[in-house]
Amino acid sequence: MKCAIILAGGKGTRMKADCPKVMCKVLMKPMIDYVVSAVKSAGCAAICVITGYRHTEVEDHLRNLDPTIETALQEPQLGTGHAVMCARDFIERHRGDDILVLNGDGPLLDEPTINGAYALHKSEGNAITLISALVEDTNGIGHIKRSADGKLQCIVEHKDATEEEKKINESNAGCYWFMGDKLLYALDRITNQNAQNEYYLTDSLSILLGAGNGANAYVVENSDVVLGANDRAQLHILNEILRHKIMHQWMVDGVDIPCTDGVMIADTVQIGTGTTILPGTILLGNTTIGKDCLIGPNTYIMDGTVGNGVTLDNVKLTDSTVEDGADYIFSKTDKDESHYEYTDVKATVNDENVAVIDNGDGTYTVKNVTGDLTVTGKRTAKQYPITVDGNAKGCIRVADTVPYGTDYDFTAEELETDKYDYTLTMTINGKPYTPEFDDSYVSFMNTYFYTIKGDAITGNIHITFTQTEKGGAETT
């Protein structure tokens, strides 16, 4: 039987995230979800995940993902070898099985790679078969040393490597197939005699070789499949690789994506042939799109079901179904849409006017959509009130309300700057805000000029304007 141990205890300090590293997302889904899916697809019938930093968050997530997944807690975290030691009970129960050990932050690792390594592992009867890749950047990798005849010798962590060893470009991918009993044998002999005083799982290779066991490495053709991420920049790279991989496969399968800008399609989405996906379209969750649809631009669908021949343009669907001829519920989804009000919303289907029902909650319904849907409407920026207090409030000249999105200028006039110092404080939605200030007109107009930037006008504005006698107390 195939089993798997997934290492998921790391904090991921360089991610600068509040969540555990494996919960950082690629295409809006935690990295560990991809790893669990890959090992299941490879046929692993039992899975144990090693948790550590904020372990309850990972454990709760896994319980919702698949309640059959076991977990083991690693506290403190003393290296990858120590992490696997924490799963000893799981390994003991599967000592007669083949056990895959891999990292939980490798979302690009796929079933063909896992099973390719497994086929080599079984055909050679190896105690350990690891996955490796040839890389250009050797900084920070685990270097795989081979003898002159190409046989594996050991894995040297970069921090422990000599200058000559650091030139080796065959990188350990952190993914291993073990015979269960041989894994137990190695764990009993791993020590922390290294620069980091940690227990390295990589030492299991030299331990098993030293005991006369067989070992080999499955070298992947595409090094992308073994990539992980240690910071947000590397996470972005994973997003881009997976995003383009998914889109490429859909194009091969008969979906038209004429421009990939801003298109994001989760690996759980299904799309029918003949459908066109336009820029700015995001399809997530358990979404199914029918045949011959036109989706986008600027369309967001989460867990939606769309029938055949449907056009969705600049709309948002969440947990919704759009069938052929069905009622269609939509909402506006532009940036900062909450600061606008819509009136005179109209729609056409196949260039014919149709009724639009205002649902009163920011959404609208068009009934019996059987063709191309186009929605138009008038958008008006919301007006937010201004209140003024303070002992010099009579100097402030403002309107009662100001609109979102347009810079607003106001003045403080009839100032007696030879006698008083003036102070203005402001809050918007209860949060402090500092307007732009121009006092160049005070010498001949006795006036201060202020500007509130339009994108900052997001709620009620409160101004306090006070005057204080020069060298004295606030006047009343």
The residues that are catalytic are 339
Mark out the alpha helices in 421-470 (DSSP H runs): 442-445
Report the C-alpha gap between 308 and 323 in whole angstroms. Answer: 7
Q: Report the DSSP beta bridge partners of residue 171.
A: 133, 143
**Look-up: residue for tokens 């001829």?**
325
156, 142 Cβ separation under 8 angstroms: yes
Report the C-alpha gap between 421 and 437 in whole angstroms. Answer: 15
DSSP-derived 3-state class of residue 311:
strand
DSSP for 4-45 reads: EEEEE----GGGT-SS-GGGSEETTEEHHHHHHHHHHHTT--
Rounded to the nearest 10°, the torsion over CA 159, 161, 167, 168 is -100
356, 347 Cβ separation under 8 angstroms: yes
Q: Report the DSSP beta bridge partners of residue 218.
A: 131
Report the C-alpha gap between 61 and 106 in whole angstroms. Answer: 17
Report the C-alpha gap between 403 and 381 in whole angstroms. Answer: 6
**Look-up: residue for tokens 């997001």?**
458
**Look-up: residue for tokens 């809006």?**
28
Report the C-alpha gap between 102 and 175 in whole angstroms. Answer: 4
Six-digit token string for 97: 């099985």
Nearest to 317 by CA among 300, 335, 334: 300
Six-digit token string for 257: 């994506």
Report the C-alpha gap between 391 and 304 in whole angstroms. Answer: 57
Residues 6+ apart with CB under 8 A from 182: 127, 128, 208, 213
Report the C-alpha gap between 76 and 64 in whole angstroms. Answer: 26
In sign, the C-alpha dihedral spanning 59, 61, 64, 67 is negative
Report the C-alpha gap between 287 and 269 in whole angstroms. Answer: 5
